[in-house]
Structure formats: C-alpha cells, structure tokens
Amino acid sequence: MPPFRISAFGQPFRRFASTGAGSVGRQGGASAGGGGGGGREARDTIFLHRPLRLIIFTTKYLAFTHLFLEYGFWPSPASGPSMLPTFEVMGEWVLVSKWHRLGRGVSVGDVVAYNIPINDEVGVKRVIGLPGDYVLVNSPESASDAMIQVPQGHCWVIGDNLPASRDSRLFGPVPLALIRGKIIARAKPNWDFQWVRNPLRSPDQPSDA
C-alpha cells in the first residue's frame, strides 16, 4: 500500500492491529475473527475516502482552471486576413492576457481580443484610439478626412490590413466592456513562439503584460 495511504489512515490500522494481536494471545482463534472485522472496517473507510478525495481534487482543479482562464491567460487559435502581416491568415495561436480585460491597462498600439458588437464572434484588432482621442472615421486613403472623438468608456480598433478588415470604421467605437484581453504572444504553425509588442513603445520600455 502506498505511503500516503498509510499516513492518511495510519491510526485506524494501528488500533485494529493491536486489538487483534492481543486478543489472539489471550482468547485464541475466536478473537482473530474480530481482528478480521476490524480490517474490513479499515478497508471500507479507505474506499469511502477515495471518492471524497477525488471530488475535492476535481473541484480544486476546476476552480484553478476557471480562475486561470478567466483572470490569467487564454490561448486561442487566430485566423483571417485582417491582421496581415502581424498574424498569418491561418494556423497561428495567440496568447491573451485576461489581466487587460475590460480595457484595463490597454494602450494605443496594443492588439486586443474583443467581442465584435455586430455578431457573436471574437475579433483581434489594434487599438488606435482611447477615450478622448480623435481618430479618422474612414481609411487614410479615403477622400474624407472626417474625424471623431472616441467617447468615454470606448476605444477605436482597426486591422493592420485595412482593405480586408471589418473594424470601427464599420461599427464605430467599441465599448471597453467588450475587451476580452490583450494579445501578448503568438505561436506560428512551426511552434515558433514570439512576443507581440506594441510598435509605439520603445524596445527598452518594459511591457505591462
């Protein structure tokens, strides 16, 4: 029997063993049966505790996994041409920092994962405007130079590949409440792991990821 089993139930085993051995010496074989009954009781105790330990372990594991995915990091596959050349069209995985959910600590230039306001999908885009910033409503090559001020509690997101991107130019400012996190790393199809850095930050500036 493994040591951790013994340490968990050592006291009952010692009690049953001493009772059975002592009785055999004084009363013969009649008391030996009593020792066997004690052994069965000990085994029943072990079998009763095994499901309990399994339930406790499973509960702790599920709770830790939930906290890790909800408030820690979330790996997710990424696909689509809207973020070329930053990300490939398909086959890549990204690591999302949930610490930045709801837009916490997000800066202009960061790449974020967010719930697209016009459907139930999750998008990946770059933040180019935060509350109070003025941004172009249309693409830079557009004939219109109309600008909009990003309202409080919102951000303005676009794709790096403008012609292939559906972003704030289509559905307007995105509520910060829809930000699911910041993309901090990527894994290419050949499992080449790379950090995703904000191009507006100097290389020697520490990241808040």
- The question of whether 82 is a catalytic residue gets the answer yes
Sign, CA torsion 63/65/66/70: positive
- The answer to whether 38 touches 19, Cβ cutoff 8 Å, is yes
Distance set, CA 12 to CA 31, 44, 52, 58 (Å): 18, 12, 18, 26
107 in Cβ contact with 200 (< 8 Å): yes
CA pair distance 127, 111, nearest whole angstrom: 6
| Annotated catalytic residue within 97, 98, 125, 165 | 125
Annotated active-site residue in 31, 60, 76, 82: 82
Amino acid making up residue 13: F
Annotated catalytic, 98?
Answer: no
Q: Which 3 state secondary structure label does DSSP give 186?
A: strand
Give strand pairing partners of 115: 122
**Any alpha helices (H) in the chain, and if so which ranges?**
3-27, 29-71, 168-171
Mind telling me the catalytic residues? 82, 125
